[in-house]
Structure 1
Amino acid sequence: MEVNKELDKKLNEVFAGRVVRKDLTKLIKEGANVPVYVLEYLLGMYAATDDEASIQEGVNRVKKILSKNFVRPDEAEKIKSRIRELGQYSIIDKVTVALNPKVDRYEAEFSNLGLKAVPVPANYVKEYDKLLVGGIWCMVKMDYYYDEEERNNSPFIVNTLQPIQMPNMDMEEIFSGRTHFTKNEWIDILMRSIGMEPTQLEERVKWHLLLRLVPLVENNYNMCELGPRGTGKSHVYKELSPNSILVSGGQTTVANLFYNMASRKIGLVGMWDCVAFDEVAGIRFKDKDGIQIMKDFMASGSFARGKEEKNASASMVFVGNINQSVDVLLKTSHLFAPFPEEMANDSAFFDRMHYYLPGWEIPKMRPDFFTNRYGFIVDYIAEYFREMRKRSYTDSIENFFKLGTHLNQRDTIAVRKTVSGMIKLIYPHGDFTKEDVEEILKYALEGRRRVKEQLKKIGGMEFYDVMFSYIDKETMDEEIVSVPEQGGGKLIPEGMGKPGHVYVAGQNNTGMIGVYKLENQVVPGTGKYDKSGVGSHRGARESLDTAFRYFTANSKSVSNSISTKTRDYLMHISDLQGIDLTEELGIAQLIGLFSAAMNKPVLDSMAVIGNMTVGGTIAKVEDFANVLQVCVDAGAKKVLIPAASVADLQTVPSDLLVKVQPIFYSDPIDAVFKALGVQ
C-alpha cells in the first residue's frame, strides 16, 4: 500500500487543489441524494488538500451547506417557508428553464423544491443554455416578494444563479501534470477519479472502465454495453459528468432528442456531450421515423428535420441487461438480442456502433471496489474530458500501422475513434510510443469486431469480413485480432458422435437459417416410427416421414442386416438456435436412420444440407453461401452438399471455403455412404 501513499502524495503536489479524497465523497453521498459532481464541487472548494485538519474543517463546512441549503424533496415546504421568512435564501437544486411566450419571460422549475413558473433573468439562460434542456444543478439565491396587484405571478424570484460546474479549465495544467506520471499511475488516477480502487481490479477491467469514458472525450462516438445487473453501467453517465444525460425508461420523442419543430429548438443531442439510454430493451420512439433519424445522426453527426439540416456532436451510449449467460446467447441468437424488436433485426442500426463493451467481463460492484484514496475532483475531470473533445488523435494509427483488408470504411472510422478516445484519456499530452498505440489498437479492433460478428449473424454475407487485423508498417507483419467469447461452445462439437446423431442446417419459413440436431435410436419392436420435438410443424413432419418411407423401401440396398419389421425407430429433433424448424430434413434424417440401424456413427464435425422428395430427387440448396456460413459458425469442419450446388461454390468467399471440407453427393443412397464414411 506504500506505493499508493506515494501516488497520493505526488498527485497532491502536482495537482494541488484539484484533487479530493474519495472516501469523503462516499461519506457525504450516503446522506444526500445529490450527484457526485455536485458534492465534489463543494469538497473542491473547501476540502481539496491533504492536511487532515483542513479536510475535517472543509467536510464539516460542506455538510453544513448541504444540510442548510440542499433541498431534500421531503423538506421542500420547510425551505419555501424559510425563503419567505428571511426574504432571501440560498439553495442547491436542479433547475430547468422554459420560455413562457404568453408573458414573454423565462421561468424556472425546481426539481426538489417543487416550484414552477419562477421568473429567471434572461442573461442566465443566454449564458447557460443547458438550463433549457434537461436542466442543471445550481446554487441559487432566491428572493421572496409578494405583490397584491400581481397575484398570478410567483412571489419567488431568482436573484442569482450559479451552475455547479468548473468555471474555466487550463489544459496546460493537465498536459504538464501528466508528464510526472507513468502510464499505469495515470490509469490508476483516472480509476480513482471515477471512484474505483485500481488495486482491486484486473488490467482488462480497468480498460473496460476507461472505455466507458470515451463517449465523454470523443465527439459522435456510439457505444453499447450489455451485461449483468449491478456492474455500474449507467453510473458514469448519470453521476459523474455534468455534461452527460441519462435517458431513463427509454421512452422518448424526436422533438426531445433531436429537434422540436414547434419551438425551433435543438434537442438533447445538441446540448449534451453524451446522451445515454438506460435499459435498451425499453427504447421506444413515439414517432415512426425516430429510429431512422437516430441512424442518420449516428452515422454522420447530422440529421434532417423539416427543411433544416442540423449538426450535433453528442455521443450515443446504449446500456442494458443481458439476462442469460453469454454462451447461451451466442448459441441461440446474437449479442444485440436485448434491444427492442424494431432495432434487433436492423443490421444498419448496429453497424453504426463503434464499440461493443463486454459488460459480462466487469465484476458486480462490491464495497472493496470503491476507493478511499485521492483522485481528481469529478468536476475538474469532466471539464478536462470536455476540452479534449476539441482535439483529435484519429490519425495516430497511421504513423505505425495500417488496417487489414477486412475493415470497411465504417470499421475503420470506428477503430480510429476508439483509438483517439483512449489516447485522449491515457496520453492527453500526446506523448506515446508505437507499443502504446498497438496496445490500444488491439483493444479497439476487438470491440468493433464484436459488433461485426453479431452483424454477420443478423445480416449474413454482407458482413462476412470479420477477420480484423493490422499491419506493422516497418516489418509488414500482419496480426489478426480475435474476440474472446467467440472461441469454444460450438453447436457442432468436435470428435465422433453417437450412432444415429446427425447435424443439419436449413432455412425455416421466415428465411432464417438454423442448425438442428437429429437423434435416432433403434429398439426391438414392430416397425413403428415415433417422432418427438416436431410440434405442429407440418413441413418438418412430412420431410421426416419421406425419409422413413425411403429408408424402408431401400434399406436392403445398403445393408442386409437392417430390419424394418422387428425394430421400432425413435427420433427426436432439437432446434439448437430456437428459431423454429426447417423442412429441409429429408437427407439428414435418412442418414440418421441408417446410422442408428447399422450402429455406425456419421463422420465427425459434419453438417448435412439439402432435401429430397419421396422419389429420391435431390433439391438444390437456396442461399447456398449463407447456409455454408452458418455451418462453419456452428463448428462444422465437413459439409455434405448436393451435387446440384457445385455451381454455387463460386458465390462463396474463398476464406470461408478453406475452413470446411465439402463432400458432394448425387443421390440419397450416395449421401448415406459418404456420411458414414463407406466409399
Structure 2
Amino acid sequence: MTMLDEKINEHFPGLVVRKDLVKIVKGNAIVPTYVLEYLLGQYCATSDEDSIRSGIETVKEILRKHYVHRNEAGLIKSVIREKGRHKVIDKIGVQLNDKDDVYEATFSNLGISKVLTDTDTIKKHPKLLVGGVWCICDIEYEPSEDKRVCPWLLQSLKPIQLSLFDYEGYLAARKQFTVDEWIDLLVQSIGFNPEMFGLRSKLLQLVRLIPFCERNYNLIELGPKGTGKSHIYSEFSPHGILISGGEVTVPKLFVNNSNGKLGLVGYWDAVAFDEFAGREKKPNKALVDIMKNYMANKTFSRGVETLGAEASMVFVGNTRHNVPYMLKHTDLFDELPAAYHDSAFLDRIHFYVPGWEVDIIRGEMFSSGYGFVVDYLAEILRSMRNHDYSQKYTEHFTLNSDISTRDRDAINKTFSGLMKILFPHEEAEKDEIEMILRFAIEGRKRVKDQLLRIDSTYAPVRFGYHDPGGDQQRMVKTLEEKQYPQHYYPDGKSPVEPESVAEADPQPEQPEEAGADKEQTPRECHLVVEENQKGISFDNLFGPYLKGATEIVITDAYIRKFHQARNLMEFLETVARNKTDDLEVEVKLITIEDDFTGDQQRNFLMSVQENIWNAGIRFSWEFDQEKTIHARHIIINNGWKIMLDRGLDIFQPFDGKDAFQLAVRQQHYRSCRAFEMTVVSTK
C-alpha cells in the first residue's frame, strides 16, 4: 500500500475498499458499481490481505448463488420452486394496480411480475415506484388453484444502500488529510488513479459529483466519446438515475396528470440524460418548456397545481467537432437538438464541463488503491444537500458588480458544491477558496460566452472578482479563450476588454499556434501554461532559442522514467531540426541517478546517446553524486537561459503504445501539465 492508502485505512476503517476488487468480483454480472461495492464493503473493507482474499470468495459466492442473470432466470425460478424460498439480487420496480388496489413488483432480470408487495415496503422505499431499485430480497413460491393469483411472494426486501453513517466522524477524519491527499482519496473513490491526472483534471472529475450534494443543480458536459461522462450517474450512486435523452416524456420526468403519479424528479437526487446531443433529435416542445421552468424555479405544474422538487439535472452528450472548429463556425453548444439550442434553456445551466479536456479512459487510468465504498460517499453527499456553503468566499472575495443574479447563483451553487466535496469541515485557506471560486466562475462563463453568440440580446459580462474594498479586479478566462483567442470572439476581440484590470494569472504572449508559418523572434519572456492546455510543443517553446547553438547544458534531476527519457529524446529532435546539417552540437545532461532503477535509467540514456548520433548531436550525461540539484534549466551558448519549473516533463500521461494516437506523433495534440517557463538573456 502507498502511504495514502495506509492513512485512508487508518482514518476510515471498514468504510473503504481496494478499487481493483470490483473488476475481480464482477465477472459477467451486469450490475452497477455501487451494488458490488456494497457487498465488498460487507466482506472486504479491510487492508488485511487474507481477509480480502476470503471476502472476495464470499462475494463471488453470493453473486453466483443470488445474482440473477437473465439467461439463467428459468433456473433460479426452479430453485425457488423446489426450495420454497430463495434470496435474490435483482432490480425491482413496483406499480400500483388501481383495479385491485394492490402494489405489484416486477423483477427485471428474473422476469416475474405482479408480485404482491405490502404498503409498508412502499412507504419505506418510494423509489421502487420510479425507475426501479437494486435490492436483496427473499422470494417464496406458493402455487394456488386460482390461476389469477401470482404464486410468487415477496417476503423481505432490502435496497442495496447504506442505512447509517456517522457524519461527525466523517468531518473529524477529513481534518487529518491535506487538501491534495483528500482530492486523491476522492479520485480513487471514483475509481481512477490520481497519479494520471493533474489538479484541474481531478476537479473536472469531482465536479460531476456536485448534482448529488447540491439541490437543483444543472450541469452539462459535452465532449468526445469514451471519457466516462455517464459513468458517475449510472454506476456511482443509488440516488441518481441515467436515462436516454430520447426516451423521456413529461409524465415520466415530472408528473402524470391523468393519475397524479409523480415523475423522476420527485424521487431521485440527480436525473442524468445520456446521449443528449444530436441535432437530428426532436424533443417534445412541452417537455422543453416545463424543463426551462423547473431548472429556473425548481417547480413544475400539474394542471392548476404547482409542485416543487429537488432533483439536479445533468445533460451529457458527444461532440463531432473539435473546439477551434466549433468556436470558429458555431458555438460550444453546437451539437444540441434545436429545441435545446435555445438561449432561455441554456441560460439555466450552472456549469459547463469541457469534456474535450477529459482524457479517453484507458486501462492504466484505473486505480488499485483504496477509496470510499461508493455507497458510503453517496450517502455523505446526499446528507450535504441540507447544507449551504455558497457564501463561504465572501469574507475574502467579492464578485464583480455587473455579474447578473442568474450568473451569480450559478457560480455560488458550483462553489458551494465543491466546498462540500473538498472542505466539508469548512477549513479552507484563502488561496484554496480562490481556486474553487475561479473554477466555478470559469464554468459559468463558458455558458454565458456561448449565449452571447447565440442571442445578441445578452449583455457582455466581466467575469471576475476582487478583495473586499479592493479596486483591482481579477478577471477569469476559460482555457479555450486563452488557447484559441483568434476564434473565441467572432470579431477577434473580447467585448468586455477591461481597462486597468489585471488577470489573476496574467498570460504573456503564447507560442505560435501549431502549424503557423510565422517566424518567431527569440526574446526574454515569462510563459504560463495552464493544465490541459494544448497546442504546445518543444519546437515552438525552444526552437527560436536553439538556432546557432553549439553547446547546450540541461539540468534536470528527473530524467529517470521512460516518459522522461522520451521527453529528452524529443527535445534533442528539436535541437536537430534547428541546426544545419554540417553543424555538430554538444548536449550535456546533469541529472540524479535513481536509487532503485538506476540500471534502467542508464539504458535509457545510452539509447538516446546512440540514436541521436547520426543527427550530429553529441549527447552525454553525468549524475550529480551529491544529489543537491533541484532547479531545472537549459543553458545555451548562444546567449539564452531557459528556466522550467517542471523541466522537460510538461505533458500529461498519454498512451504511448498506441501508434495511431496523434499525441504520440505530434506534441501539440497532447494535454499539458501546468507549468511556467522563464527565458533570460545571458549576454
**TM score, norm. by length of structure 1:** 0.70
Residue matched to 2:329: 332
Q: 1:73 aligns with which of 47, 51, 70?
A: 70
C-alpha spacing 1:165/1:212, structure 2 compared with 1 (3 Å): same
**Superposed CA offset, 1:456-495 (max 9, x none):** 00001x323232010111544310001111243626999x
Question: In the alignment, is the contact (CA less than 8 A) between 1:397 and 1:416 conserved in 2?
Answer: no
Residue 282 of structure 1, CA deviation = 5.3
Residue matched to 1:482: 477
Question: In the alignment, is the contact (CA less than 8 A) between 1:258 and 1:266 conserved in 2?
Answer: yes
Question: In the alignment, is the contact (CA less than 8 A) between 1:251 and 1:282 conserved in 2?
Answer: no
Residue matched to 1:196: 192
- Confirm whether residue 154 of structure 1 aligns to residue 142 of structure 2: no
Amino acid aligned to 1:299:
A
Structure 2 gaps, min length 5: 493-683
- Confirm whether residue 45 of structure 1 aligns to residue 42 of structure 2: yes
Q: 1:119 aligns with which of 113, 116, 123?
A: 116
- State the SS of the aligned residue for 2:2: helix
- Confirm whether residue 15 of structure 1 aligns to residue 16 of structure 2: no
Question: In the alignment, is the contact (CA less than 8 A) between 1:94 and 1:135 conserved in 2?
Answer: yes
Identity of aligned residues (%): 47
- State the SS of the aligned residue for 1:33: coil
Question: In the alignment, is the contact (CA less than 8 A) between 1:327 and 1:489 conserved in 2?
Answer: no
Question: In the alignment, is the contact (CA less than 8 A) between 1:108 and 1:120 conserved in 2?
Answer: yes
Distance (whole Å) between structure 2 residues aligned to residue 79 and residue 250 of structure 1: 34
Distance (whole Å) between structure 1 residues aligned to residue 326 and residue 284 of structure 2: 30
**Superposed CA offset, 1:582-630 (max 9, x none):** xxxxxxxxxxxxxxxxxxxxxxxxxxxxxxxxxxxxxxxxxxxxxxxxx
Distance (whole Å) between structure 2 residues aligned to residue 95 and residue 342 of structure 1: 34
Residue 208 of structure 1, CA deviation = 0.2
Distance (whole Å) between structure 1 residues aligned to residue 273 and residue 331 of structure 2: 20
- Confirm whether residue 387 of structure 1 aligns to residue 358 of structure 2: no
Distance (whole Å) between structure 2 residues aligned to residue 273 and residue 87 of structure 1: 38
- State the SS of the aligned residue for 1:397: coil
Residue 29 of structure 1, CA deviation = 2.4
Amino acid aligned to 1:46:
Y
Q: 1:440 aligns with which of 436, 441, 458?
A: 436
- Confirm whether residue 174 of structure 1 aligns to residue 170 of structure 2: yes
Amino acid aligned to 2:348:
R
Q: What does 1:535-546 align with in structure 2 at a 5 Å threshold?
A: none
- Confirm whether residue 408 of structure 1 aligns to residue 395 of structure 2: no
Question: In the alignment, is the contact (CA less than 8 A) between 1:406 and 1:469 conserved in 2?
Answer: no
- Confirm whether residue 165 of structure 1 aligns to residue 141 of structure 2: no
Distance (whole Å) between structure 2 residues aligned to residue 122 and residue 25 of structure 1: 35
Q: 1:450 aligns with which of 443, 446, 451?
A: 446
Question: In the alignment, is the contact (CA less than 8 A) between 1:96 and 1:108 conserved in 2?
Answer: yes
Amino acid aligned to 1:303:
F
- State the SS of the aligned residue for 1:281: coil
Amino acid aligned to 2:381:
F
Residue matched to 1:240: 236
Distance (whole Å) between structure 1 residues aligned to residue 76 and residue 27 of structure 2: 21
Residue matched to 1:570: none
Residue 204 of structure 1, CA deviation = 1.1
Amino acid aligned to 2:478:
V
**Superposed CA offset, 1:344-370 (max 9, x none):** 1x1010000000010000000001110
- Confirm whether residue 225 of structure 1 aligns to residue 218 of structure 2: no
Question: In the alignment, is the contact (CA less than 8 A) between 1:69 and 1:90 conserved in 2?
Answer: yes
Residue 103 of structure 1, CA deviation = 1.3
Residue 406 of structure 1, CA deviation = 3.0
- State the SS of the aligned residue for 2:386: coil
Residue 251 of structure 1, CA deviation = 2.2
Question: In the alignment, is the contact (CA less than 8 A) between 1:245 and 1:276 conserved in 2?
Answer: yes
- Confirm whether residue 469 of structure 1 aligns to residue 469 of structure 2: no
Question: In the alignment, is the contact (CA less than 8 A) between 2:92 and 2:134 conserved in 1?
Answer: yes
* Runs of 4+ deviating beyond 6 Å: 283-286
Residue matched to 1:208: 204
Question: In the alignment, is the contact (CA less than 8 A) between 2:134 and 2:159 conserved in 1?
Answer: yes
Question: In the alignment, is the contact (CA less than 8 A) between 1:450 and 1:483 conserved in 2?
Answer: yes
| Number of corresponding residues | 488
- State the SS of the aligned residue for 1:395: coil
Amino acid aligned to 1:386:
R
Amino acid aligned to 1:124:
T
- State the SS of the aligned residue for 1:113: coil
Question: In the alignment, is the contact (CA less than 8 A) between 1:250 and 1:282 conserved in 2?
Answer: no
- Confirm whether residue 423 of structure 1 aligns to residue 430 of structure 2: no
Amino acid aligned to 2:337:
P
Question: In the alignment, is the contact (CA less than 8 A) between 2:282 and 2:339 conserved in 1?
Answer: no
Residue matched to 1:360: 356
Residue 250 of structure 1, CA deviation = 2.4
Question: In the alignment, is the contact (CA less than 8 A) between 2:137 and 2:156 conserved in 1?
Answer: yes
- Confirm whether residue 350 of structure 1 aligns to residue 351 of structure 2: no
- Confirm whether residue 137 of structure 1 aligns to residue 141 of structure 2: no
Distance (whole Å) between structure 2 residues aligned to residue 417 and residue 13 of structure 1: 33
Structure 1 gaps, min length 5: 495-679
Amino acid aligned to 1:82:
V
Task: Say which is worse superposed, 59-68 or 259-268, in terms of deviation.
Answer: 259-268
Residue 397 of structure 1, CA deviation = 2.1
- Confirm whether residue 185 of structure 1 aligns to residue 181 of structure 2: yes
C-alpha spacing 1:465/1:489, structure 2 compared with 1 (3 Å): closer
Question: In the alignment, is the contact (CA less than 8 A) between 1:406 and 1:465 conserved in 2?
Answer: no
Question: In the alignment, is the contact (CA less than 8 A) between 1:251 and 1:285 conserved in 2?
Answer: no
Residue 404 of structure 1, CA deviation = 0.8
Distance (whole Å) between structure 2 residues aligned to residue 326 and residue 28 of structure 1: 40
Residue matched to 1:261: 257
Q: 1:299 aligns with which of 296, 310, 313?
A: 296
- Confirm whether residue 399 of structure 1 aligns to residue 395 of structure 2: yes
**Superposed CA offset, 1:417-472 (max 9, x none):** 00000000000111112222111010011010000010000001x32323201011
Q: 2:106 aligns with which of 105, 109, 115?
A: 109
Distance (whole Å) between structure 1 residues aligned to residue 243 and residue 410 of structure 2: 24
Distance (whole Å) between structure 2 residues aligned to residue 286 and residue 455 of structure 1: 21
Distance (whole Å) between structure 1 residues aligned to residue 207 and residue 376 of structure 2: 19
Question: In the alignment, is the contact (CA less than 8 A) between 1:407 and 1:465 conserved in 2?
Answer: no
- CA RMSD in angstroms comes to 1.5
Question: In the alignment, is the contact (CA less than 8 A) between 1:253 and 1:285 conserved in 2?
Answer: no
**Superposed CA offset, 1:47-95 (max 9, x none):** 1111111111111000000011000111010001111010000000000
C-alpha spacing 1:493/1:313, structure 2 compared with 1 (3 Å): closer
**Superposed CA offset, 1:251-281 (max 9, x none):** 2111110111222121101100000000112
Question: In the alignment, is the contact (CA less than 8 A) between 2:283 and 2:339 conserved in 1?
Answer: no
C-alpha spacing 1:489/1:419, structure 2 compared with 1 (3 Å): closer
Distance (whole Å) between structure 1 residues aligned to residue 247 and residue 98 of structure 2: 27
**TM score, norm. by length of structure 2:** 0.70
Distance (whole Å) between structure 1 residues aligned to residue 69 and residue 369 of structure 2: 29
Task: Say which is worse superposed, 483-492 or 268-277, in terms of deviation.
Answer: 483-492
Question: In the alignment, is the contact (CA less than 8 A) between 2:204 and 2:353 conserved in 1?
Answer: yes
C-alpha spacing 1:356/1:493, structure 2 compared with 1 (3 Å): closer
Distance (whole Å) between structure 1 residues aligned to residue 284 and residue 225 of structure 2: 30
Residue matched to 2:533: none
Question: In the alignment, is the contact (CA less than 8 A) between 1:109 and 1:118 conserved in 2?
Answer: yes
- Confirm whether residue 278 of structure 1 aligns to residue 285 of structure 2: no
Distance (whole Å) between structure 2 residues aligned to residue 26 and residue 185 of structure 1: 25
